[in-house]
Structure 1
Amino acid sequence: MPKKYSAEDRARWLKLIEEGKTESKIVNDTKADPRTVRDGIIQARRERDLREANVSLIRDALKRHQEQLLAELTETARSVEVPAVELAVVSWYEREPLSVFLDEERLKEKFLAGRFPKAALNKPSPIKQHLGQIKLTRFLSKWQKEYQAHLLARIDLQLKTLELIRNKTGLPVVSETKGIHPPFVFSHTACAELYKYALRRRFSGEPGKTDAELKNGMVVDRERHLVTLFGKQLAEVDAEGEDKCRSGLLAAYEELTKTVELKEVETTYKSLGEWVTPIRELISEYSAIGMLPGTCSICERIGT
């Protein structure tokens, strides 16, 4: 029965051939059948080529995986920024799924479920698996919490704006006028503008200038029974109700500028801003290296 030779034997024969030895020399030294040596060398070459091809495929797959991770990290860096000062988080229109006309608890519940779903927050994504519990992960987690708190603070301010306008004008606040008759205040203009002006006043460093702009720009149109702000219709009222409505809107604005809700937006905004530079610097370090440390489920499937 012919002797069987192992993969190690075949690999050794291939190495000898590539070093310049002849098949006959290998046959003489090993006392093996010439056909066995020839076939063994051919098989060893095929096995090596297959291994090298697999290694190349794995290397390319890992390279693409790392490129995807770094692209995701770059996108994360872009998203780590403070929002626009006058950003309204939910809609001023009642017809929208997330609007100031919803009950506060229900509104926040729906907002969080859509914007920060628990499944997504807890899912161990590939990039989270790679980063593990390093500083960047902790910073991003803190940022996420601060960002959520800031957006909720803005929702509180939007709701407060609506409440104050209702209370100070004594009028209903609406976003649609079909089927109803004046007097009423428009949510998408009056609420939106007072909200913006209150934020602008807080962050501009020029409260007097902002106040003057609002007061000078808000005028009454006695012919059409409107209150307008630089041409935008804020309210439509009964005859002789224009001045009272304007005064109510300005009173709502004045109180809005002193609310804890506005202060909380400012506080969380500044806190959020403190994380931007540290997070972006850490992300830049990983981008400069060109790869993320650690492994993930995708790495395991690739074969590392």
Structure 2
Amino acid sequence: DEELCALLDVPMSLLPDVHDSAASFCTTDKSALGVELPVAGVAGDQHAASIGQVCFKPGMVKSTYGTGCFMMLNTGTTAIPSSHRLLTTIAYRLDGITTYAIEGSIFVAGAAVQWLRDGLGIIQSAEETQALAMSLDDNQGVYLVPAFTGLGAPYWDADARGALYGLTRDSGPSVITRAALESVCYQTMDLLNAMRADGATINAVRVDGGMVANDWLSQYLASILDIAVERPRQTETTALGAAYLAGLQTGVYDSLDELTGNWQEEHTFLPDMDADMRTRVTAGWADAIRRTLSHT
């Protein structure tokens, strides 16, 4: 960017050339892999996941659940500065045309389940969380705000710390586990609400990452967001997106339409929570956030 380079007094000649996301960048060293292979696609992890989910049209959203959670909204060829504390970024550039996105980042998603296992020792594996959550009719008023390293978007509170609210003597491993899973859904809701406040119309979200193998989590997410949650057959979409870029450059794939045709639904989760219940549980989350923020 000429303006930024001038501001920081960095000669543009010192910087690498900017290419499309699918381009001929270089080849690998033959001594490393035994053969020279073309490096033909480059993207950040969330950008690659968005491509793997074939979110090529404005308004399409993907949300990736690993250690953290990262939601990305395609805004087309227009860069829209967020007014609600989200990040405006480049999704990808193909054939010289730049596609932009708005992104929201949650610091703790799957890391909350890791904490249940390694920190509290109340589960032995992530697979146990579904049965524990399903064993309860509701959350018993217990909320976990997993601000172990602060809160990400849209709060950006580095000084906030994790908290559990609503515990009683009857609270056991099941309710704490459910609170951890629910916290991922509520944080996703906060991101989605911020995107909508920025003017987005969102009718569905495509999910991927290890956490979404949990059917209970995916269903609760749909109910809290009050939209369809679409889980693809191939959930390792970050690697898939990188492969798609390389394939476009090397002629394995001809077009984005061909990639779109490759996407296959494994299951779509639809909301099944009544409006009054949704209002009650999300109000409880909002209160928990208010009590956790460091500046309140």
TM-score, length basis structure 2: 0.25
The two structures have a TM-score, normalised by structure 1, of 0.25
Q: Which has the higher helix share?
A: 1
| Structure that is richer in strand per residue | 2
